Amino acid sequence: MKRVLLFILPILIIISVVFTVSGIVQVRFTQDKLMDDLKRKAKTVNESLELSARYILVNNDLKSANRLVEIFQRKERLQGCAIYDKDGQILAITERFSDWSQKDKPYIKDMLINKNPRGELESFREYTVYSYVQPVLDDDNNVLGLVEVLYDTSYMFNTLTELWKKISVTLIILILLITIIAFLIQRQIFILPVRRLTQWFSHFQRGETDKLRPFKEEGEFGKLISEVEQVALGLRVARKAVSDEAHVRIQKEEVWTEAKLRDLIHAKLGENAFFVVSNREPYLHIIDENTGVPKCVRPASGVVTAIDPILRACGGTWVAHGSANADRQFVNSKNKLGVPPGEDRYILKRVWLTKEEEDGYYYGFSNEGLWPLCHVTHTRPIFRETDWQMYKKVNQKFADSILEELPAKNPFVFIQDYHFTLLAKMIKEKRPDAIVAIFWHIPWPNPEVFAICPYQHEILEGMLACDLIGFHLQFHCNNFLDTANRLVECRVDTEKFSIVRANKETFVRAFPISVDGYIGGNILKIDPEQIKKIRKEYNLEDKVVALGVDRIDYTKGIIERIMAIDRFLEKYPQYRNKFVFVQLAAPSRTHIKRYHELIAEIDELVEKKNWKYSDGVWNPIVYLKRHFSPEEIVPYYSLADLCIVSSLHDGMNLVAKEYVSSKNDLSGTLILSRFTGASRELTDAIQINPYSIEEFSDAIKFAIEMPVEEKRKRMENMRNIVKENNVYRWAGKIITELSALKKEAG
C-alpha cells in the first residue's frame, strides 16, 4: 500500500499542478470575456439612452427623466441608470439604486471636463457593479449632462465559481481513477505473483511438496522466481542427502555426542526439524543498565541448560515467551531470529505476552499454583480463577503460534514443563497427525496432593492428549499413573506403562535429564589467571572453598544450607578462618511475594552469620547475588573443594551434574540432597537430608576430611555416569521413542 502511494504520489502532484494552472488560465480567460461582453452591452445601452437623455436635459423635463430610468432598469441585468445635469447633479435615478447618489464619485467632475466615456467596476454596498458613464453633448459639443448605466456583476462571479467547481470535480475524479488503476495494475503485476510465490514458498517450508506447482512469469520477476525455485530444489536435495548420510553414520557411532544426536534426528525425523516449546527463552536480549546497549544473556534455567545443546546440535524451532526488554529489537517480521547470536544454529520464535497475561499465567498459575503443588516444600499453592483463565489463554496463544509453523508432514512438538499442560490438546485438535510429547522437569506429586488442584481434570485431560509424557524418575511416572487412574476415567496399562483415555494412548516414560557433559569440551578451557583473580578478590587463598549455585528459590534449600554452615562452624571451630562458602545466586520470579520474602530472608541470614563469625578480615560466606554466564560459573566450579546442592525437592538438579562434569582433575566432593532426582544416579555423592541441620553440618566436615583417593574414586564414578548419560543421550532416547510412535501412527 505504502509502496503504491509512493509510486503514484508524484504523478498525482504533477497532474494537480497542471490542472490548477490550466484552471487559473481558463478562469482568467472567461472572466475577461465576460467583462468585454458587459462593457459592450453597457456601451450599447448607454448610446440608446443618450438621445432621449439629450431631449430631457435640453427641456429640463424631470418627469420624463424619471420615466426613462424606470423603463431602463427593467432591462436584463441592468441594475439601474442615472441622469446627471451639466453640474454633475443627479436629475433622475432608478429607485432601488437611490443610495448611489450619496456615493462619492470623483470621476463625474472629470468627465464634465474631459467629455470622454468611462466604464469601470465600482464597489457599492456589498456588491461590485459595473458603471458606464457617457456625456450627453449638444450640437456645439457642450456638455448637457451625463448618462450612467449600472450592471450587477455577481452573475460573473457565479459563472466563475461554477467553472472552478467543474475543474475541481474533474481533478478529483481523475485522481481517483489514477489511484484505482494504479492499485489494480500493481495488484496484477506485483501483488498476485508475489502472493503466489509466497504461498509456493510456504508450502515448500511446510514440506507440502505435492502442492508445489511450477509457475511461469515473464521478465525480471520471472527470473527471480526461477532463481527461488533453483534454491528451493537445492535445499530439498541437500536435506534428503543429509538424512540419508545420517542413517548410515548413526549405525556406526557408540557414544552419545552432539553429532550422533544430529544424525539421529535427521534420520528419524526426516526432512522436517522438530519444534520445542518452553516458557523461558534460551537467549534474552536485555538492555545493559550501565551502557544502555542491548546484550544477549542466557538465563539461569535448568530447562535452557538442557535443551539448548540439543537444538544447537540438530537445528529446529524453539518457541518461547519473549520476556526481555530488548527482545523485540532483534526479531524479524515473523518474530523469529537465528540463535545463538552469530552462529544461527536454530530458530527462536518469540511469543509476546501482555503484563496481565504474564502475571496470571506465569507468576500466578504456573509459579504460585503448580510449582509449589508439585514440590513438597510446604509452601501453600495458590489457585486463583483469574490466573487459570490467563493460563488457558496463553496456552492457546502458544498453540496458535506453533500451529502456524507446523510442516505438512511429520510434525514433532516437544513441550517443556508445567507451563503448558493444555497445549498438547489444543495442538491435537487442529493437527491430530502431529506427534506431541511433554517433558515434566519438576517432580510429579502423589494423587492426594495433586487432587488439591481445582483444575485437575482439565490439566490431566490436556496432558493426556500427548503421545508421550516424560519425567526424570520412574517414581514420578508411577505417581502420574496413579494420579490419572484415580482422578480421570481411563485405563492404565502397567505392562506398557501407558494410559488409554477416549481411545487415545499416552505413553509415560522416565528420561533422567542431564547436561551436555562438557567433559573435556571447549567450555572448560579455564583461565588459571581467572581463578587466581577470584581467589584474591574474595579472600579464598589457602581456604577450603564450598560452593552453591542456584536460582533463588525456596525449593533449593539455601536457608538450610546457611544454617548447616553455621552449625558446622559452631561445632567444628577449627574450621573458622579456614573455610569459605561461596554462593552464586540468581534472583528469579521476584514479582512473587514468597520469592521477594526469600531474597530478604537470605540477605538477612548471610549478614547475621557473617557478623557472628567475622574477625574483620575473614567472612565465612561470600554471597554473590546476580546472574552469571555459564563461562563465568565454570571457574567457580573449578576452584570449589566441595559443591553443596541441598534442594528440599528437585526434579533432577543440573548444578550437581555441571559440577561433576567440570572436575577434570577428579578433585572436589559433592554434597547432594536425597530429595533431588540427581541423587538416584550420583550415588557417590555425600547424600544428605537438608532438613536435618545436624546431619548436614557433619556431612560438610566429612566431605572436607575425606581422603584424597576416595574423593578421586567417587568423582571418577560420578563423571562416568554423567559422561555416559549426557543430555544427547536423553534427547536421543526421547526422539527414538517418538519416532517409534510415528511409525505406529503411520
* Cell numbers linked to 530: 581467572
Residue placing its CB nearer to ligand ADQ in the complex, 589 or 719:
589
Residue placing its CB nearer to ligand ADQ in the complex, 159 or 379:
379
Based on C-alpha coordinates, what's the Rg of the chain?
Answer: 46
Binding to ligand ADQ (CB under 6 A) within 126-155 occurs at: none
To the nearest whole angstrom, how small is the minimum distance from the Cβ of residue 377 to ligand ADQ?
12
Find all residues with CB under 8 Å of 229, minimum gap 6, and list them.
Answer: 214
Q: Which of 557, 651, 668, 690 touches ligand ADQ (CB under 6 A)?
A: 651
To the nearest whole angstrom, how small is the minimum distance from the Cβ of residue 605 to ligand ADQ?
18
Residue placing its CB nearer to ligand ADQ in the complex, 93 or 621:
621
Binding to ligand ADQ (CB under 6 A) within 534-553 occurs at: 549-551
Residue placing its CB nearer to ligand ADQ in the complex, 148 or 658:
658
Residue placing its CB nearer to ligand ADQ in the complex, 131 or 278:
278
Are the C-beta atoms of residues 127 and 148 closer than 8 Å to each other? no
Diameter over CA atoms, the chain: 153
Q: Which of 49, 306, 569, 699 touches ligand ADQ (CB under 6 A)?
A: 306
Asked whether position 470 contacts ligand ADQ by CB under 6 A, the answer is: no
To the nearest whole angstrom, how small is the minimum distance from the Cβ of residue 691 to ligand ADQ?
18
Residue placing its CB nearer to ligand ADQ in the complex, 655 or 670:
655
Nearest to 691 by CA among 270, 371, 376: 376
Residue type, 362: Y
* Cell numbers linked to 503: 481411545
Cα distance between residue 623 and residue 467, in whole Å: 44
Question: CB under 6 A: which stretch of 105-113, 299-307, 315-323, 521-529 binds ligand ADQ?
Answer: 299-307
The torsion angles phi and psi of 182, rounded to 5 degrees, stand at -65, -40
Asked whether position 303 contacts ligand ADQ by CB under 6 A, the answer is: yes
Asked whether position 438 contacts ligand ADQ by CB under 6 A, the answer is: no
User: How far, CA to CA in Å, does 10 sit from each of 13, 187, 512, 629?
Assistant: 5, 19, 67, 54
To the nearest whole angstrom, how small is the minimum distance from the Cβ of residue 630 to ligand ADQ?
7
Residue with cell 488409554: 500
Binding to ligand ADQ (CB under 6 A) within 582-621 occurs at: 584-586
Are the C-beta atoms of residues 57 and 85 closer than 8 Å to each other? yes
To the nearest whole angstrom, how small is the minimum distance from the Cβ of residue 185 to ligand ADQ?
57
Asked whether position 462 contacts ligand ADQ by CB under 6 A, the answer is: no
Asked whether position 627 contacts ligand ADQ by CB under 6 A, the answer is: yes
Cα distance between residue 677 and residue 653, in whole Å: 7
Cα distance between residue 129 and residue 154, in whole Å: 8
Q: Which of 52, 153, 305, 514 touches ligand ADQ (CB under 6 A)?
A: 305
Cα distance between residue 446 and residue 455, in whole Å: 16
Which residue's Cβ has the minimum distance to ligand ADQ?
A: 302
Residue placing its CB nearer to ligand ADQ in the complex, 122 or 632:
632
Asked whether position 302 contacts ligand ADQ by CB under 6 A, the answer is: yes
Asked whether position 655 contacts ligand ADQ by CB under 6 A, the answer is: yes
Residue placing its CB nearer to ligand ADQ in the complex, 80 or 299:
299
Asked whether position 634 contacts ligand ADQ by CB under 6 A, the answer is: no
Asked whether position 628 contacts ligand ADQ by CB under 6 A, the answer is: yes
Cα distance between residue 391 and residue 356, in whole Å: 11
Cα distance between residue 213 and residue 197, in whole Å: 10
Asked whether position 279 contacts ligand ADQ by CB under 6 A, the answer is: no
Residue type, 103: K
Residue with cell 536435618: 692
Residue placing its CB nearer to ligand ADQ in the complex, 145 or 299:
299
Q: Which of 147, 300, 374, 682 touches ligand ADQ (CB under 6 A)?
A: 300
E-strand stretches of 597-709 = 621-625, 642-645, 669-673, 686-688
To the nearest whole angstrom, how small is the minimum distance from the Cβ of residue 302 to ligand ADQ?
2
Are the C-beta atoms of residues 79 and 153 closer than 8 Å to each other? no
Residue type, 151: Y
Question: CB under 6 A: which stretch of 69-77, 625-633, 683-691, 738-746 binds ligand ADQ?
Answer: 625-633
Residue placing its CB nearer to ligand ADQ in the complex, 273 or 584:
584
Nearest to 568 by CA among 398, 699, 462: 699
To the nearest whole angstrom, how small is the minimum distance from the Cβ of residue 504 to ligand ADQ?
26
Asked whether position 46 contacts ligand ADQ by CB under 6 A, the answer is: no
Nearest to 136 by CA among 46, 73, 72: 46
Size of the site for ligand ADQ (CB under 6 A): 25
Residue placing its CB nearer to ligand ADQ in the complex, 426 or 644:
644
Asked whether position 246 contacts ligand ADQ by CB under 6 A, the answer is: no
Does residue 309 have a cis peptide bond before it, meaning omega lies within 30 degrees of 0? no
Q: Which of 90, 337, 564, 654 touches ligand ADQ (CB under 6 A)?
A: 654
Question: CB under 6 A: which stretch of 142-150, 184-192, 446-454, 580-588 binds ligand ADQ?
Answer: 580-588
Residue placing its CB nearer to ligand ADQ in the complex, 30 or 446:
446
Residue placing its CB nearer to ligand ADQ in the complex, 200 or 418:
418
Are the C-beta atoms of residues 624 and 632 closer than 8 Å to each other? no
User: How far, CA to CA in Å, does 170 sit from each of 23, 156, 173, 178, 193?
Assistant: 11, 21, 5, 12, 34
Asked whether position 649 contacts ligand ADQ by CB under 6 A, the answer is: no
* Cell numbers linked to 213: 506447482
Nearest to 94 by CA among 108, 123, 124, 74: 74
CA dihedral 199, 201, 202, 206 (to 10 degrees): 140
Q: Which of 278, 301, 669, 726 touches ligand ADQ (CB under 6 A)?
A: 301
Nearest to 351 by CA among 279, 282, 450: 279
DSSP state of 381: P
Binding to ligand ADQ (CB under 6 A) within 441-460 occurs at: 441-442
Q: Which of 387, 560, 650, 684 touches ligand ADQ (CB under 6 A)?
A: 650
Find all residues with CB under 8 Å of 557, minimum gap 6, and list them.
Answer: 646, 647, 648, 673, 690
Asked whether position 320 contacts ligand ADQ by CB under 6 A, the answer is: no
E-strand stretches of 463-543 = 468-471, 491-493, 498-501, 504-510
Q: Which of 310, 348, 473, 652 touches ligand ADQ (CB under 6 A)?
A: 652
Residue placing its CB nearer to ligand ADQ in the complex, 91 or 306:
306
Beta sheet of 435-439, edge-to-edge order? 336-339, 346-351, 317-321, 275-278, 412-416, 435-439, 468-471, 504-510, 498-501, 491-493
* Cell numbers linked to 341: 547470536
Question: CB under 6 A: which stretch of 60-68, 105-113, 581-589, 607-615 binds ligand ADQ?
Answer: 581-589
Binding to ligand ADQ (CB under 6 A) within 484-523 occurs at: 513
To the nearest whole angstrom, how small is the minimum distance from the Cβ of residue 653 to ligand ADQ?
5
* Cell numbers linked to 422: 493444555
Asked whether position 653 contacts ligand ADQ by CB under 6 A, the answer is: yes
The binding site for ligand ADQ (CB under 6 A) comprises: 300-303, 305-306, 441-442, 513, 549-551, 584-586, 627-628, 633, 650-655, 658
